[in-house]
Structure 1
């Protein structure tokens, strides 16, 4: 069945009239039975829909609501497949020129999803927004302020993801890996040992040269990520509509929270950055910090 569906998806653009009902039936099947379908079959059906979308037979507005419902499935590979498609599709739509009309519609849809109670859908929507910001496709104040609102979501995971955005991290979702990091060769202990202790003199030299190149490339990538993170985080903080209100509200959340120490530290870091960038005055924040400056801390 999966092979037949993929075949029809491949040739659907050649027979638009005959395949007119195909995409609707496929979407209806996933809408009604996504949670009960076999995982591999479900991913194949989603891939077929992505193919139909890439052929221009479906619009992003038609497909996105279904894809965000599918984020709720307990299938990490499916979520990664959908996320990668959404990011690539939006990037492709804005490759030659900015499609402001499409962007507004998609942004409004994503803004509504971020505020939903369902954690998986809300977090994935937040991840799409932050990815679009980091790729400088949606680097506007509206995007930043939707992420700022996500800081106050009732889900701790979404709060942490939004706080990480303001700290300049682009790893707000563990499912997402950058292409650079994926393609980067990691230097293992075995590589170091072989470079200095195995092979002839000439092969050792080659291995050592390769090792040095890999180390330099890793250092360069780390520096690039650090510099990029700093510039993005401060730019994002500058775009906050109401920095005083945001800082006070986040400080209030910090005072009441029972979250882990790491989460509290993230909150303090973001508050400190907002105060520094906008030169704010939140008097009670300084007395709050005093207890963490004692020797026993």
Structure 2
């Protein structure tokens, strides 16, 4: 039997193939690395060194909307942060002694690369053990365990126009990519799909970036606008994003990055394929078990 180590949380799996889902951190098989029998201990230790958890302090906690809160994290030891690639995530777990859970969760880094802090923006899920813990029990000045940045959903160098499309909390990795793209003066179309202003994450931040960058075009969809939401001010289009809108409004020569609920991502993927967009220009991130959208 073979042995595989999760490069996110260090879980060790024994079997002919890596598991479809890591039972500790929920990442897919692409995050597992096989450990060779002849250097089993050495390789395992090297991998675990890379995913070593570090003590970070919550430097600030900021409510983004009714369900999302951002946590600004700084290392307890004041060490220099490992700079993340836009789109990467960190793994996080509780540190309080009374918390016996070994549960681990991943949250995308949502800030501009190169800052002296990490920012994760967490949606509170009804049955989310870690998200509820962070929202309800972790306050400014308290500590958590996190890893260095991880993940392969990252912004690639290209001269093509960039299109970012997000729904709900899927905006978090895309937000970091947006900062990087604007710094490099790339032409960007930024599409955000949400229910309404009460559930729109980074509303002011996006509007400020739009006002400051002529190379950024934003398109905001509100699926269920509030009576107080103003068309042309708070949002641009009422209703859901559709395949027809994608075909009529997005470039065929672009690089596409998208993240959100599975049904939304399937719609985006199928729409892009119907436009004959090459696979190498289609980039997406799954929150939870990995899957190939072509096979869904």
TM-score, with normalisation over the residues of structure 1? 0.26
Of structures 1 and 2, the one with the larger relative CO (CA 8 A, separation 6+) is: 2
Greater helix fraction, Structure 1 or Structure 2: 1
Greater strand fraction, Structure 1 or Structure 2: 2
TM-score, with normalisation over the residues of structure 2? 0.26
Larger C-alpha radius of gyration, 1 or 2?
A: 1
